[in-house]
Amino acid sequence: MKTFSYTLRTSGTMKAALGRGMADLPPRFPELFRQTDGICLVTASDAPPSLRARALALFPEKERPHSYFWLPPAEKAKTLEQAGLLCSFLFEEGFSRDSLLIAAGGGAVTDLAGFAASIYMRGIRWISVPTTFLAQIDAGLGGKTAVNLAGAKNIAGTFHQPALAVCDTAFLDSLPHAELRSGAGELVKYAMIGPAELYRAVKGHLSGTLAGDKAALTACVSACAAYKLKLVAADERDERGVREALNFGHTAGHAFEAMAGGRLPHGEAVARGIRFALIVSRETGILSRADFGRLNALVDALRLKEAPVRRDFRRFLSLVSRDKKARGAANRFVLIAGQGRLSPAEDLDAPLLKKAFEGALK
Ligand X SMILES: NC(=O)c1ccc[n+]([C@@H]2O[C@H](COP(=O)([O-])OP(=O)(O)OC[C@H]3O[C@@H](n4cnc5c(N)ncnc54)[C@H](O)[C@@H]3O)[C@@H](O)[C@H]2O)c1
In the complex, minimum distance from the CB of residue 256 to ligand X, in angstroms, rounded to a whole number: 12
Tell me the HSE value of 47 on the side-chain side, using a 13 A CA sphere: 30
Q: How far is the CB of 132 from ligand X (least distance, A)?
A: 3
* Closer residue to ligand X, CB minimum distance, 47 or 166: 47
**Position among 15, 125, 144, 189 found at the interface with ligand X (CB under 6 A):** 144
- For residue 223, give the amino acid letter: A
Chain residues 77-106 in contact with ligand X, contact rule CB under 6 A: 78, 105-106
Residue 329 is given by DSSP the state S
Q: Which member of 19, 65, 142, 162 binds ligand X (CB under 6 A)?
A: 142
Nearer to ligand X, 15 or 266 (CB): 266
Instruction: Between 7 and 45, name the residue whose CB sits nearer to ligand X.
Output: 45
Q: Which is nearer to ligand X, 206 or 229 (CB)?
A: 229
CA distance 138 to 159: 15
161 touches ligand X (CB under 6 A): no
Residue numbers 220-279 binding ligand X by CB under 6 A: 266-267
Q: Please work out, in degrees rounded to the nearest 5, the angle formed at the alpha carbon of residue 106 by the alpha carbons of 131 and 249.
A: 115
Name the minimum Å distance from CB 147 to ligand X. 9
Interface with ligand X (CB under 6 A), residue from 135, 193, 229, 264: 135
Supply the minimum distance, in Å, between the C-beta of residue 209 and ligand X: 14
Q: Where are the beta strands (DSSP E) in 96-241?
A: 100-105, 125-130, 144-149, 152-159, 164-168
Note whether 291 and 338 are within 8 A (CB).
yes
- Of these, 67, 79, 174, 296, which contacts ligand X (CB under 6 A)? 174
Sign of CA dihedral 278, 349, 152, 125: positive
Q: Of residues 25-84, which lie at the interface with ligand X (CB under 6 A)?
A: 44, 46-48, 51, 73-75, 78
**CB of 173 vs ligand X, minimal distance in Å:** 8
Letters for 107-126 (x = contact with ligand X by CB under 6 A, - = none) are xxx-x---------------
102 vs 139 by CB, closer to ligand X: 139
Q: Round to the nearest angstrom and report the end-to-end CA distance of the chain.
A: 52
Give the separation between CA 270 and CA 273, rounded to whole angstroms.
5
The correct pick among 15, 153, 160, 205 for binding ligand X (CB under 6 A) is 153
Name which of 226, 214, 213 is nearest 20 in CA terms: 214
Contact 122, 96 (CB under 8 A): no
Q: Which of 59, 103, 138, 253 binds ligand X (CB under 6 A)?
A: 138
Q: Is 341 exposed, middle or buried (0-12, 13-18, 19+ CB in 10 A)?
A: middle
Give the Cα separation of 70 and 86 in Å (integer).
Answer: 9
CA dist 164 and 129 (Å) reads: 8
Of 65 and 107, nearer to ligand X (C-beta) is 107
* Footprint on this chain of ligand X (rule: CB under 6 A): 44, 46-48, 51, 73-75, 78, 105-109, 111, 131-132, 134-135, 138-139, 142, 144, 153-154, 171, 174-175, 179, 182, 266-267
